[in-house]
Amino acid sequence: MSKVYDVIIIGAGPAGLAAALYAGRARLSTLVIEKIKDGGQIVITDEIENYPGAVEGESGPSLIKKMVDQVNHFGAEKVFDTVVDVELEGDIKVIKGSKAEYQGKTVIIATGASPKPIGCPGEKELTGKGVSYCATCDGNFFEDFDIYVVGGGDSAVEEAMYLTKFGRKVTLIHRRNELRAAKSIQEKAFANPKMEFMWDTVIEELKGDDILTSMVVKNVKTGEVREIEANPEDGTFGVFVFIGYDPQSKVFEGKVNMEHGYIVTDEDMKTNIPGVFAAGDIRVKSLRQVVTAAADGAIAAVQCEKYLG
């Protein structure tokens, strides 16, 4: 008979690792299932300044390594496997991976959400080197630089206005000739003297060796293609992408309550299924940051302990 864990955590980003830390310290038998590598989105972040206690020069990988070391110290087990199906009802939950099947009395879903990329050449290579998906994380790195924001919805316009605190100018690039954001948000953006708009435009390519230095844009109506280069004195500029997120929740569809692909929980991370919790970016929530993911994980683990008690 396979081992029945007290807690199975799906995902080893900050939420999953924080949950594993708290579960391990509570002497609960804990298994972390991760698909590819520890860390989630944070491992593509070169520098972290907004996580409490992070030292100067802290990077995503260095912070995750500390979290992983803590988790290992408190005895949580880990496997690398891809979850293909789940059975969450009943006292014993079954997590089916492509390699094996795992059983647990409680489950914490911490699979996260990934920002949708532009999908153009150079984007992946320059992520964290001029290309970002988080204004709160990286905005201050572009103080007095030119900043471009891709998108036209509420998030894109709100984040663009936030970035005007840092950039000398913020240009919103949108593939249509009008924004999709709420009218009240649009009015604020149009009234902001540091905001400019590039309509009917898409980014075709991002260029640079170790840092973003130029981008190729195309007007979708006229077909005109041109290259925008960084100010020579700056040497770079920022491109922030806000065209939506992809919650990593497909395998849980029909198993727990969701809204637009995100799992619905209460403030104690409880889903509608007893013994099943969700933490981090996979949840319906207002702020997706490392610090809120870690807090979610801690709460979820403590609630698992109470549930088991």
Q: What residues have CB less than 8 Å from 208, skipping those under 6 apart?
A: 122, 126, 129, 130, 214, 236
User: Please, are residues 163 and 135 in contact by the beta-carbon 8 Å criterion?
Assistant: yes
Using CB atoms within 10 Å of the CB of residue 14, give its burial: 0 to 12 exposed, 13 to 18 middle, 19+ buried. Answer: buried
Of these residues, 137, 146, 281, 296, which one is catalytic?
A: 137
Of these residues, 6, 38, 81, 134, which one is catalytic?
A: 134
- The residue type of 158 is E
Q: Is 120 a catalytic residue?
A: no
**CA dist., res. 171 & res. 286, Å (int):** 25
How far apart, in Å, are the Cα atoms of 224 and each of 17, 88, 188, 269, 274?
48, 53, 30, 49, 56
User: Please, are residues 78 and 34 in contact by the beta-carbon 8 Å criterion?
Assistant: yes
Phi-psi region of 254 (alpha: psi -120 to 50; beta: other; left: phi over 0): left
Of these residues, 138, 146, 281, 296, which one is catalytic?
A: 138
Q: At 52, list the tokens.
A: 């409490």
Q: Is 304 a catalytic residue?
A: no
**CA dist., res. 128 & res. 267, Å (int):** 32
Task: Count CB atoms within 10 A of the CB of residue 179.
Answer: 21
How far apart, in Å, are the Cα atoms of 304 and each of 85, 209, 211, 213, 275?
21, 47, 44, 48, 7
Q: Is 134 a catalytic residue?
A: yes
**CA dist., res. 124 & res. 102, Å (int):** 34
**CA dist., res. 160 & res. 95, Å (int):** 41
Q: Half-sphere exposure (CA, 13 Å, Cβ side) for 268?
A: 12
Residues noted as catalytic: 134, 137-138
